[in-house]
Amino acid sequence: MAFRRAIHLLPRGNNCVYSLWIPCLQKSPNAISQTVRFPRHTDHRCGRTTRTLHTGTPLMVAKILSVDELFSKTSLQEYLKKTEAEYNECLRAANSGVPEEQSSEDTLMSKRTKVSLLAPLIQSIRELDAKQREMAETEALLKDEDPALRELAELESEGCLQEIQDIRQEILNLLIPEKEADLSDLVLEVTAGVGGQEAMLFTNEVFDMYQGYAHHHGWSFDVLEYMTNDLGGVRSALASISGSQSYKRMKFEGGVHRVQRIPRTEKHGRMHTSTMTVAILPQPTEISFTINSKDLKIETKRASGAGGQHVNTTDSAVRIVHLPTGVVAECQQERSQIKNKEKAMKALRAKLYSMKLEEETSKRYNQRKVQIGTKGRSEKIRTYHFPQDRITDHRIGLTVHDMKSFLLGEDLLDEMNSSLQEFSNQETLEELLGENNQQGS
Amino acid sequence: MWKRSLSAGYTCYGCRSVGPKRLWGYHAVRSCSAPALPAGRITARQAADLWERHFAERGVTEPDHSSHYILAYLLGAKTMESLEQEKLTEFLSPEKTEQMWKLCSKRLSRMPVQYVIEEWDFRDLTLKMKPPVFIPRPETEELVELVLTDLQMKPGTEVGTQETCLEVGCGSGAISLSLLKSWPQLKAFAVDQSQDAVDLTGENALRLGLQDRLQIHHLDVMKDAETVLSLCSSVSVLVSNPPYLFSEDMAALEPEVYRFEDHAALDGGNDGLEVIKHILTLAPQVLSDHGRVYLEVDPRHPPLIQRWVEVNVEEMHYVETRHDISGRPRFCILRKEKDHKLDLD
């Protein structure tokens, strides 16, 4: 699927809207060194390009553009100009004083709101203009005859260049709106796919990887459901993750993960391919999503018999059925029944909420390469190839090596995620500029 | 009382029935009925499976959960489900194997798992458990929830408002300690007629660092009502999980309950209301105006309690009956309201 889409982009390569997508092969070394945000990950890509080609990764993968490349796009420049013009217009209208008619009061209000919304962006655009003028002046000095002055100008231009980069990055960040769900916590769901026991073992490893990732970021990781088989595999598991930016950094992990290796149990040394699925469900707040308690059936061991002081049961598992949908959540992680009930409720809320989100968003974002927030996807997003010690993300064609470190859920996974974030931002930007372009034409 | 119930446990298995509790242990029981210690090494999962089968053969209730909880406890987890999967396939050390045999042999005598591992969870607390002090049941977690929800809803209970609570029959301290833990402005009085319970509540309070806001007294509300009144007054919450079983039901209890838990914490007299009536009589004297009583009771009790209070206790009004997670009428809420006539005087 990813491959087909990438191909899809090529014929439109000259189209203004899709001109952001430049095949990997065209990237200039200069552009790489200027990707400001994640220099370490850039190193990976540089060093491993040839190996990536050998492993059968599609060649025509859309690349992550550097800040400079983005800013050299006319579409972006036009968008910024248009936004500034809109801001000035709104500002003028807002300052022009009392409206003559009652009806225009609302328009005035909306213009004022727009002014305050756009203010930080406009501020940065103006800063950038000023810096660029300063840069031009400094560049003139670089040709000066006085060597001391030239040296000074060189120093100054270096600092200036850095500041320009920072402001540009800032502008890009301001252009990409924060999603509401980005601020929420999440529930992670892992499910074994094809491959039997091997798939279940791998599911366990991936679950551990995210536990490590949560630990790495200082998030809490609370297991809600953990369905195992007798041989140390995991059929499915749920965990609640909360902490700063947890959803934002986990949301790209959803999808089918594929593992290729010789299983420990394999006698003839044959390589197996198995899969597991990861779903990232944003955890709704009590206010934004309510469940009617009449729709719930709660099952416990104590439901039969007298209960209370009459009996001492230690089985504190709780199972909750949402009657209208038949969705079930259960928990037996805790010795306290009320804690199990709370956790099962949390899992149930996340499951129901993701179903609701799925309905709302599946149509809207179906066209995107990096999908988020939806659950029932069958698309393979990443391959863990043990014999070659590599992990390839198919959405952005990024390959990293060192399986052991990757599965720790620390820096390597974090870098992969940053690239996905970058790429998704670019897609958002592209949509923004695309819309702008259509409106303009 | 508890000595008697324990000695019933001894005779049942033909072990020596005299002597202090600590002599009654693993060797004696093992010689009775436990499977022999394995000669070679076994994995954690094998040990759990072996004991599960053995419990089932010997008619021990919840054979799977019993062996799982004991194993999880030995491996430093709370439940089998929360254990790392790898640990189950690893071999048990000889020490752990011996401990597993020792603890499971206790369970074989029908000792409740909570007494075997000497701890259990109540809401978000882990409490020490010790025979014969009553083991808190899951329903009581809901009783605490009711009190906490009302405290949150109550107007004027922002930070800094001092609330006081009295618990009658504190047992291991589960209710009072949970309330104190969740409500930092709360102070609590806890009373119990059993010295073992008073000691255990104190020990649990100390472990949880909640001792500064808790006063524990060895008192019996049936006999020492005056003393209770002299110690505390104007409390806003009176909460209790009193003994509420009908005496006639006692004989039908599982051996886990009948032989190991303090009968004084279970037996509520002929109609199960003996202690409840004393608590409700005391209520208007210790409560502040609009103060509330929260009781866990037998499902047959709520209508009886409502009628009895209307006839016998002035100033106490029956507010409502609440149901437990399984839908049984389990909790009674009452409120103190001074009569308007008195207010006008």
Verify that B98 and B246 share a domain, yes or no: no
Q: Please report the pLDDT score of residue A99 as a whole number.
A: 56
- Provide the pairing of β-strand A318-322 with A296-300: antiparallel
Residue A85 lies in a domain: yes
Percent of chain A with pLDDT over 90: 30
Q: Please report the pLDDT score of residue A151 as a whole number.
A: 86
B134 catalytic, yes or no?
A: yes
Is residue B104 a contact partner of residue B96, using CB atoms and an 8 Å limit? no
Distance in angstroms (rounded) separating the CA atoms of residues B155 and B305 = 28
Using one digit for the tens of pLDDT, what is the confidence trace for A22-73? 333 333 333 333 333 333 333 343 333 333 333 333 433 456 677 777 787 7
Residues linked to residue A5 through DSSP beta bridges, in sequence order: none
Is residue A222 a contact partner of residue A321, using CB atoms and an 8 Å limit? no
Is residue A370 a contact partner of residue A424, using CB atoms and an 8 Å limit? yes
Verify that A82 and A153 share a domain, yes or no: yes
For chain A, how big is the Rg over CA atoms in Å? Answer: 27
Mean pLDDT throughout A264-282? 87
Q: What is the DSSP letter of A305?
A: S
Q: Cis link prior to B132 (omega < 30° from 0)?
A: yes
Q: Is the pLDDT of residue B1 over 70?
A: no
**The residue to which tokens 């021990």 are assigned:** B60
Q: Which residues of A have a CB under 8 Å from any CB of B?
A: 204, 223, 226, 228, 230, 232-234, 298, 300, 302-303, 306-316, 318, 332-339, 341
Mean pLDDT throughout B217-244? 94
Verify that A157 and A195 share a domain, yes or no: no
Mean pLDDT throughout A181-201? 86
Is residue A206 a contact partner of residue A250, using CB atoms and an 8 Å limit? no
Predicted model pTM:
0.71
Residue A155: C-alpha distances to residues A30, A35, A138, A143, A151 (Å): 20, 21, 10, 14, 6
Using one digit for the tens of pLDDT, what is the confidence trace for A345-370? 999 988 888 787 777 665 555 544 45
Verify that A169 and A205 share a domain, yes or no: no
Examine the fold and report which residue of A378, A403, A433 is the final residue of a domain before the chain moves on: A378
Q: Please report the pLDDT score of residue A303 as a whole number.
A: 84
B20 catalytic, yes or no?
A: no
Write down the mean pLDDT value for chain A: 77
Q: Please report the pLDDT score of residue A136 as a whole number.
A: 86
Verify that B151 and B286 share a domain, yes or no: yes
Verify that A148 and A220 share a domain, yes or no: no
Tell me which chain B residues have a C-beta less than 8 angstroms from the C-beta of A316: 138
Verify that B213 and B75 share a domain, yes or no: no
Structure-block tokens of residue A271 = 């390589």
Structure-block tokens of residue A182 = 């980005």
Using one digit for the tens of pLDDT, what is the confidence trace for A396-432? 889 999 999 999 999 999 999 999 988 888 888 887 7
Verify that A200 and A276 share a domain, yes or no: yes
Assign B11 a pLDDT band (cuts: 50, 70, 90): very low
Q: Is the pLDDT of residue B146 over 70?
A: yes
Residue A354 lies in a domain: no
Q: Is B169 left (phi over 0), alpha (psi -120 to 50) or beta?
A: left
Q: Please report the pLDDT score of residue B245 as a whole number.
A: 97
What single string gives the DSSP state of each residue in A374-389?
Answer: ------EEEEEETTTT
Tell me which chain B residues have a C-beta less than 8 angstroms from the C-beta of A298: 325-326
Q: Is the pLDDT of residue B267 over 60?
A: yes
**Ranked by mean pLDDT, which of A149-153, B40-44, B114-118 comes out on top?**
B114-118
What single string gives the DSSP state of each residue in A272-292?
Answer: EEEEEEEEEEEE--TTT----
Q: Please report the pLDDT score of residue B251 as a whole number.
A: 93
Examine the fold and report which residue of B116, B138, B170 is the final residue of a domain before the chain moves on: B116
Neighbours of A73 (CB within 10 A): 17
More confident site: B117 or A150: B117
The parent domain of residue B24 ranges over 2-116
Verify that B78 and B219 share a domain, yes or no: no
For chain B, how big is the Rg over CA atoms in Å? Answer: 22
- Inter-chain CB pairs, A–B, below 8 Å: 109
Assign A378 a pLDDT band (cuts: 50, 70, 90): low
Q: Is there a contact between B325 and A298 if contact means CB atoms under 8 Å apart?
A: yes
Contacts of B47 (CB under 8 A, 6+ apart): B67, B71, B92, B97, B100
Q: Is there a contact between B142 and A338 if contact means CB atoms under 8 Å apart?
A: yes
Contacts of B208 (CB under 8 A, 6+ apart): B125, B177, B181
Verify that B84 and B132 share a domain, yes or no: no
Mutation pick from A335, A337, A341, A343 vs chain B, by most beta carbons of B within 10 Å, is: A335
Q: Which residue of A has its CA nearest to B134?
A: A309
Assign A245 a pLDDT band (cuts: 50, 70, 90): confident
Using one digit for the tens of pLDDT, what is the confidence trace for B22-44? 444 444 444 457 888 888 899 99
The parent domain of residue A147 ranges over 74-175
Verify that A224 and A368 share a domain, yes or no: yes
Verify that A188 and A125 share a domain, yes or no: no
Tell me which chain A residues have a C-beta less than 8 angstroms from the C-beta of B139: 302, 307-308
Distance in angstroms (rounded) separating the CA atoms of residues B301 and B273 = 8
Q: Please report the pLDDT score of residue A360 as a whole number.
A: 66
Residue A149 lies in a domain: yes
Assign B153 a pLDDT band (cuts: 50, 70, 90): confident
The angle, 0 to 180 degrees and rounded to 10, between the axes of the packed helices B44-57 and B63-74 is: 150
Using one digit for the tens of pLDDT, what is the confidence trace for A309-327? 999 999 999 999 999 999 9
Q: Is there a contact between A333 and B243 if contact means CB atoms under 8 Å apart?
A: no
Cα angle value A156/A160/A164 (rounded, 5°): 175
Q: Is there a contact between B79 and A336 if contact means CB atoms under 8 Å apart?
A: no
The greatest distance separating any two alpha carbons of chain B, rounded to the nearest whole angstrom, comes to: 84
Q: How close B123 comes to chain A (CA, Å)?
A: 6
Residue A47 lies in a domain: no
Q: Is the pLDDT of residue B191 over 70?
A: yes
Examine the fold and report which residue of B67, B96, B116 is the final residue of a domain before the chain moves on: B116
CA-based nearest residue to B191, from B233, B148, B224 = B224
Tell me which chain B residues have a C-beta less than 8 angstroms from the C-beta of A230: 45
More confident site: B161 or B166: B166
What single string gives the DSSP state of each residue in A393-409?
Answer: ETTTTEEEE-HHHHHTT
Distance in angstroms (rounded) separating the CA atoms of residues A263 and A112 = 63
The four Cα atoms A131, A136, A142, A146 give a dihedral, to 10 degrees, of -90
Tell me which chain B residues have a C-beta less than 8 angstroms from the C-beta of A306: 299
Verify that B107 and B125 share a domain, yes or no: no
Percent of chain A with pLDDT over 70: 75
Neighbours of B269 (CB within 10 A): 15
Q: Which residue of A has its CA nearest to B250?
A: A310
Q: What is the CATH number of the domain that holds A193?
A: 3.30.70.1660
Verify that B124 and B34 share a domain, yes or no: no
State the catalytic residue, choosing from B112, B136, B189, B241. B241
Chain centre distance of CA B242 = 10
- Provide the pairing of β-strand B214-218 with B186-192: parallel
Q: Please report the pLDDT score of residue A317 as a whole number.
A: 94
Examine the fold and report which residue of A122, A147, A175 is the final residue of a domain before the chain moves on: A175
Assign A14 a pLDDT band (cuts: 50, 70, 90): very low
State the catalytic residue, choosing from B63, B131, B132, B134. B134
Mean pLDDT throughout B233-246? 96
Contacts of A3 (CB under 8 A, 6+ apart): A58, A394
Q: Is the pLDDT of residue B158 over 60?
A: no
Is residue A316 a contact partner of residue A340, using CB atoms and an 8 Å limit? yes
Q: State the burial class of residue A364 (Cβ atoms within 10 Å of its Cβ: 0-12, 13-18, 19+).
A: exposed
Q: Please report the pLDDT score of residue A89 as a whole number.
A: 86
Looking at the partner chain, which of B82, B254, B299 has a beta carbon nearest the beta carbon of A311?
A: B254
Examine the fold and report which residue of B76, B95, B116 is the final residue of a domain before the chain moves on: B116
B204 catalytic, yes or no?
A: no
Distance in angstroms (rounded) separating the CA atoms of residues A387 and A261 = 6
**The residue to which tokens 């956790």 are assigned:** A343
Mean pLDDT throughout A82-105? 75
Verify that B155 and B84 share a domain, yes or no: no
Number of domains in chain A: 2
Q: Please report the pLDDT score of residue A71 as a whole number.
A: 81
- Provide the pairing of β-strand A327-331 with A380-385: unpaired
**The residue to which tokens 């439109």 are assigned:** A12
**Ranked by mean pLDDT, which of A107-121, B95-109, B328-342 comes out on top?**
B95-109
Cα angle value B240/B246/B252 (rounded, 5°): 115
Q: Is there a contact between B124 and A341 if contact means CB atoms under 8 Å apart?
A: no
Contacts of A359 (CB under 8 A, 6+ apart): none
Q: Please report the pLDDT score of residue A286 as a whole number.
A: 64
Assign A119 a pLDDT band (cuts: 50, 70, 90): confident
Residue A111 lies in a domain: yes
Q: Please report the pLDDT score of residue A100 as a whole number.
A: 56
Whether the predicted interface score ipTM is above 0.85: yes
Distance in angstroms (rounded) separating the CA atoms of residues A414 and B242 = 55
Verify that A120 and A268 share a domain, yes or no: no
| Amino acid, single-letter form, for residue B157 | T
Q: What is the DSSP letter of A23?
A: B
Q: Is the pLDDT of residue A141 over 90?
A: no
Distance in angstroms (rounded) separating the CA atoms of residues A153 and A149 = 6
B residues 78..117 contacting A (CB < 8 A): 78-79, 81-82, 85-86, 88-89, 112-114
B residues 294..333 contacting A (CB < 8 A): 296, 298-299, 324-326, 328, 330
Is residue A419 a contact partner of residue A64, using CB atoms and an 8 Å limit? yes
Verify that B51 and B133 share a domain, yes or no: no
| DSSP H helices in chain B | 2-12, 26-33, 44-57, 63-74, 85-89, 94-108, 113-116, 138-153, 174-182, 195-208, 225-231, 255-260, 274-286, 301-312, 340-344
Looking at the partner chain, which of B45, B85, B296 has a beta carbon nearest the beta carbon of A308?
A: B296
* Phi and psi at residue A102, to the nearest 5°: -65, -40
SS3 A177: coil
Using one digit for the tens of pLDDT, what is the confidence trace for A196-243? 889 999 999 999 999 999 999 999 999 988 888 877 789 999 999 999
Instruction: Tell whether B121 lies on the interface with A, counting CB pairs under 8 A.
Output: yes
Q: Is there a contact between A309 and B85 if contact means CB atoms under 8 Å apart?
A: no
What single string gives the DSSP state of each residue in A347-370?
Answer: HHHHHHHHHHHHHHHTTTTTT-SS
Structure-block tokens of residue B324 = 């437990």
State the catalytic residue, choosing from B112, B132, B242, B255. B242
Verify that A118 and A196 share a domain, yes or no: no
Q: Is the pLDDT of residue B3 over 60?
A: no
Instruction: Tell whether B245 lies on the interface with A, counting CB pairs under 8 A.
Output: yes
Is residue A10 a contact partner of residue A23, using CB atoms and an 8 Å limit? yes
Verify that B41 and B128 share a domain, yes or no: no
Verify that A80 and A167 share a domain, yes or no: yes
> What is the enclosing helix (H) or strand (E) of A136?
helix A104-141
Distance in angstroms (rounded) separating the CA atoms of residues A426 and B45 = 50
Distance in angstroms (rounded) separating the CA atoms of residues B84 and A315 = 20
Verify that A215 and A231 share a domain, yes or no: yes
Q: What is the CATH number of the domain that holds B127?
A: 3.40.50.150
Verify that A211 and A139 share a domain, yes or no: no
Distance in angstroms (rounded) separating the CA atoms of residues B265 and A130 = 81
Examine the fold and report which residue of A151, A175, A199 is the final residue of a domain before the chain moves on: A175
Distance in angstroms (rounded) separating the CA atoms of residues A389 and A402 = 6
Structure-block tokens of residue A224 = 């809600």
Assign A261 a pLDDT band (cuts: 50, 70, 90): very high
Residue A99 lies in a domain: yes
Q: Please report the pLDDT score of residue A37 as a whole number.
A: 39
| Terminal-residue alpha carbon distance, chain A | 32
SS3 A93: helix
Residues linked to residue A227 through DSSP beta bridges, in sequence order: A236
Q: Is the pLDDT of residue B6 over 60?
A: no
Verify that B84 and B171 share a domain, yes or no: no
Assign B89 a pLDDT band (cuts: 50, 70, 90): confident
Is residue B257 a contact partner of residue B197, using CB atoms and an 8 Å limit? no
Verify that B110 and B123 share a domain, yes or no: no
Q: Is the pLDDT of residue B312 over 90?
A: yes
Number of domains in chain B: 2
Q: Please report the pLDDT score of residue B317 as a whole number.
A: 95
- CB contact burial B312-337 (16+ within 10 A = b; e otherwise): ebeebebbebbebbbebbbbbbbbbe
Count of residues making up chain B: 345
